[in-house]
Structure 1
Amino acid sequence: MNRNIARLMAAFLVIFAVGSVGSIVYQVMWANPAEACEKSRKWWDAKHRVCATPVLISDITGRTIQDKQAEAAARAAMGRPAPAQAQAPSQP
């Protein structure tokens, strides 16, 4: 009977070690990069483990957002500052 107890103890120890290593690998390889990506206000793709930068539709189509408040809200949601306004050349 003592031999069976020793085998069970070893089996549970191996299962515990594998589970511990598995949880550490998950945390380091999947959870931490996803959290860092979301903190930087980007999109995390869990399937491919890619941190992608969001793009405004107006950047793709070239059409500008007419409502300045809506544009500012969209840029703030993405974490991008509003573009600097070009100054008109001064007339001498």
Structure 2
Amino acid sequence: MNRTIPRLMLVFLGVFALLSIGVVVWQVGWVRPMKECEAARKWWDHAERVCATPVLISDITGRTIQDKQAEAQARAAIGRPPAQAPAPK
């Protein structure tokens, strides 16, 4: 019997096993963290594999958003609760 067929079968079986392991590593290392990050309404960086928290520009500059509806929409877009009005004195 020709030994090429069993040898070729083992080569294909090895390639299949490597590809299967690669798919599992891809799912566990890249896809699952990305989905968890996006479910938490954060930013996922594919290059660095980092889940970052979005920041409002008004938090950086110190300026407040004058339009309350726009502020509520901006806070909802990054997953923060609406700002509370200061308690009366």
Would the TM-score normalized by the shorter structure come out above 0.5?
A: yes
Partner in structure 2 of residue 31 of structure 1: 31
Residue aligning to 1:12:
12
Alpha-carbon distance, 1:5 to partner: 0.3
Q: 1:56 and 2:56 equivalent?
A: yes
Counterpart of 2:67?
A: 67
Aligned-partner residue type, residue 88 of structure 2? A
Q: 5+ unaligned residues in a row in structure 1: which ranges? A: none
1:46 is matched with: 46
Whole-Å separation in 2 of the counterparts to 1:78 and 1:20: 36
Q: Distance in 2 between matches of 1:61 and 1:26?
A: 39
**SS of match in other structure, 1:29:** helix
Q: What is the distance in 2 between the residues matched to 1:2 and 1:20?
A: 29
Alignment of 1:81 with 2:81, yes or no, is: yes
Q: Secondary structure at the match of 2:51?
A: strand
Q: Structure 2 unaligned segments of length 5 or more: list them.
A: none
Aligned pair count reads: 89
Q: Which secondary structure state, in structure 2, belongs to the residue aligned with residue 2 of structure 1?
A: coil
Whole-Å Cα distance in 1 between the matches of residues 26 and 50 of structure 2? 15
Tell me by how many angstroms 1:57 deviates.
0.2
**How big is the shift at 1:17?**
0.1
